[in-house]
Structure 1
Amino acid sequence: MLPHRSRTSVILFLLPALLLFGGGVLLPIVQSLGLSFFRWDGISPMSFVGLDNYRQLLLGDPVFWSTFANQAVYLVVCLVLQLGGGLAVASLLLTITRGREVLKVLYLLPAVISTTAIALLFQRIYSAEPMGLVNTLLSAVGLDGLARPWLSDLHTVLVAVSVPEGWRFLGLYTIILYAALLSVPRELEEAARLDGANAWQCFWKIRFPHIRPVWITTTIMATTYALRGFDVPYLLTNGGPGHASELVTTYMYKTAFTSTNYGYASAISVFIVVECLVAVGLIFALLRRKES
């Protein structure tokens, strides 16, 4: 047990952060929850509708469920690039002895670049006229038939807007996982190799169990960020063509600030919060089940 004076000091130091968190995060969530029970256009008096917004959201809005499916695809692409790619690159960095610091800085750069700059960059990369980088590379290797307007094609636009978000934070998770891998005791790996373990067995039986707490944290971060992803898809396609790249977050934004249906948009925002909490709970449940 901490002495009374120490507990008081801890509380005093934590209080400013708790107040900022409460005012900046918890209060808007509570306000959105309250507003979700009303119909309001931002000007006229609010009209109480009870659970009608949630009933419409879950049972009477096919566009919402289309955006939910799009969000699931967006999440999978981001997790594969950020966690799978980050772990692979971090493992490769352990084998490099020269230029490692330069590579880490280069990988981290996209995370500090302006979102608008990233959107403009990928608009040029995906461009069909003038020909962007992707179509130029396809033509160079004789795959001209695969060239297309990636951000206008209904079959490719969703993955096309997901890749920039995955690339954007790849370096961040690479650095986090690389730092975790550095803490793995090397003598354990050396002993395993002497016993005949191959590279995959050393990774799966020794490295990964040691970095599991960090892996859980990065998985939660990547999942919640992807479920709240908004800026890059909105800037690239604004949810189009049609609703092919519409996410739950962009749909919420348009419902609030284009359709001025703030009550319904608040219900969508509450759904996003619940979605993130459920995702975090599932991650903990799955990883604990694997541990047991």
Structure 2
Amino acid sequence: MLPNRSRLSVLIFLVPPLLLYGVAVLLPIVQSLFLSFFSWDGISDMEFVGLTNYIHMFTGDTVFWHAFSNSLGYLVICLVLQLGGALIVASLLTSLRRGRNIVKTLYLLPAVISTVAIAFLFQRIYSIDPVGLLNQILGWVGLGNLERAWLSDINSVLAAVSIPEGWRFTGLYMLIIFAALLSVPQELEEAARLDGASRWQVFTKIRFPHIRPVWITTTIMATTYALRGFDIPYLLTNGGPGQSSELLTTYMYKTAFTSTNYGYASTMSVFIVVECLVAVGLIIFTLRRKDEA
């Protein structure tokens, strides 16, 4: 359908990034799939074990299932903070006339801050000795009985490591959703208001249906990033105390580089890839089915 010159232009611009994507993403996935059928410590000869790693992962590794449940909890908290917070802030920004750029910059700032800096920041916020910001605020408002070592308490540590990740990317998704909201035809909203529609009705009947494709894309981005979340939980707790904040990614990393069991770690990496693909399929199926209904 394109003239020859256009086809050549498309190839020139697409081939380099596709090659880079293949080398940086697809090749490691294929290598992980290959290694998952072997037992290998990184030094000695690889020993073919077939499906033994997969059988052990699904039937004989309780830590794996604990890490899997933690990953789902981590995902839920991140999605609530990132998508819920982004949608609320973006909706409020559409009615803000002054200082809009300042607010957008402030919300986007965490996304460009170093992960290590964010981890150190929240270590100080959660600290019990010396008393961190969170415990100080609880004391100021008369809730001192709730003060605790947030990163050492098994009842709070999963939420504590999830909140920094949710806070980190809220601004990025807010900008995406805000841009989508700006594309909503104003005449439709004005006509609905003249007909007596409330703000909630304008949002649910006009705004959100219009931005649904962007919402699907944003949900996929947030979900896959959360399922692959590693750096902040690892820096804050290293999966502890016990396995209270152990995620599939941190467990996979420690299996590979601490236990030097690269075959089994590759098996878990394959599971994470499949998990992300299944999550993307469920998101597309669910949201498009609602759209058709």
Shorter chain as denominator, the TM-score bin is over 0.9
Equivalent residue letter for 1:91? S
User: Within 1, Cα distance between the matches of 2:226 and 2:204?
Assistant: 26
Q: Does 1:271 align with 2:271?
A: yes
User: Within 2, Cα distance between the matches of 1:181 and 1:198?
Assistant: 17
Matched residue, 2:149: 149
Deviation of the 1:6 alpha carbon: 2.3
Deviations 1:154-207 (A, max 9, x none): 000000000000000011111111111011111111110111110100000000
Matched residue, 1:237: 237
User: Within 2, Cα distance between the matches of 1:291 and 1:173?
Assistant: 21
Q: Does 1:214 align with 2:206?
A: no
Deviation of the 1:47 alpha carbon: 0.2
Deviation of the 1:286 alpha carbon: 0.2
Equivalent residue letter for 1:194? L
User: Within 2, Cα distance between the matches of 1:179 and 1:3?
Assistant: 33
Matched residue, 2:106: 106
Matched residue, 1:251: 251
Matched residue, 2:182: 182
User: Within 2, Cα distance between the matches of 1:230 and 1:5?
Assistant: 44
User: Within 1, Cα distance between the matches of 2:263 and 2:38?
Assistant: 5
Matches within 5 A, 1:190-209: 190-209=190-209
Deviations 1:96-149 (A, max 9, x none): 111111111010000000000000000000001111111101100111111100
Where does structure 1 lack aligned partners over 5 or more consecutive residues? none
Moved over 6 A (4+): none
TM-score by length of 1: 0.99
Q: State the SS of the aligned residue for 1:169.
A: helix
Matched residue, 2:10: 10
Where does structure 2 lack aligned partners over 5 or more consecutive residues? none
Deviation of the 1:3 alpha carbon: 2.2
Q: State the SS of the aligned residue for 2:225.
A: helix
Equivalent residue letter for 1:16? P
Deviations 1:62-113 (A, max 9, x none): 1000000000000000000000000000001111111111111010000000
Deviation of the 1:291 alpha carbon: 1.1
User: Within 2, Cα distance between the matches of 1:129 and 1:238?
Assistant: 20
Q: State the SS of the aligned residue for 1:239.
A: coil
Q: Does 1:64 align with 2:64?
A: yes
User: Within 2, Cα distance between the matches of 1:108 and 1:13?
Assistant: 29
User: Within 2, Cα distance between the matches of 1:12 and 1:238?
Assistant: 44
Matched residue, 2:55: 55
User: Within 1, Cα distance between the matches of 2:79 and 2:31?
Assistant: 31
Deviation of the 1:9 alpha carbon: 2.7
Deviations 1:16-37 (A, max 9, x none): 1111111110000000000000
Matched residue, 1:32: 32
CA-based RMSD of the aligned residues comes to 0.7
Matched residue, 2:170: 170
- Once structures 1 and 2 are overlaid, which stretch shifts more, 8-17 or 185-194? 8-17
User: Within 1, Cα distance between the matches of 2:5 and 2:93?
Assistant: 46
Deviation of the 1:12 alpha carbon: 2.7
Q: Does 1:227 align with 2:227?
A: yes
Matched residue, 2:21: 21
User: Within 2, Cα distance between the matches of 1:175 and 1:288?
Assistant: 23
Deviation of the 1:10 alpha carbon: 1.4
TM-score by length of 2: 0.98
User: Within 1, Cα distance between the matches of 2:9 and 2:112?
Assistant: 35
Equivalent residue letter for 1:156? S
